[in-house]
Chains A and B, each alone.
Chain A
Amino acid sequence: MQSIIGVLILLALFIANVYLYRANKNTPLPEGCENLKPDCAACGIAHCAIRDQKGSEG
Chain B
Amino acid sequence: MNLFTMFISAMLINNIILTKFLGLCPFMGVSTKVGPALGMGAAVLFVITGASIFSWLLYTYVLVPMGLEYMELICFILLIAAFVQFTEMFIKKKSPKLYQQLGIYLPLITTNCAVLYVAQDNITQGYNLIETIVNSIGVSAGFMLMLFIFSTIRERLRGNDVPKAFQGNPIAFIIAAIMAVAFSSLAGLV
A residues near B (Cβ < 8 Å) are 2, 5-6, 9-10, 13-14, 16-17, 20-21, 23-24, 27-33, 36-39, 41-46
Contacts and interface: CB of A to CB of B under 8 A. Distances in A.
Given A13-B79, A20-B82, 16 more contacts: A5-B66, A9-B68, A16-B78, A17-B82, A24-B85, A24-B86, A27-B93, A30-B99, A33-B100, A36-B100, A36-B103, A39-B36, A42-B29, A44-B28, A44-B31, A45-B29
Interface of B: 28-33, 36-37, 62-63, 66-68, 71, 74-75, 78-79, 81-82, 85-86, 88-89, 92-93, 96, 99-100, 103-104, 168-169, 172
B116 to A, nearest CB: 14
A44 B33 contact: no
A30 B89 contact: no
Contacts of B92: 24, 27-30, 33
A33 B67 CA distance: 45
Most buried by A among B33, B82, B96: B82
A31 B168 CA distance: 35
Given A6-B71, A10-B71, A31 B96 contact: yes
Contact of B96 (A10, A23, A24, A30): A30
Nearest to B107: A24
B103 A33 contact: yes
B82 A44 contact: no
Contacts of B66: 2, 5-6, 9
B68 A24 contact: no
Given A6-B68, A20-B85, A43-B30, A38 B104 contact: yes
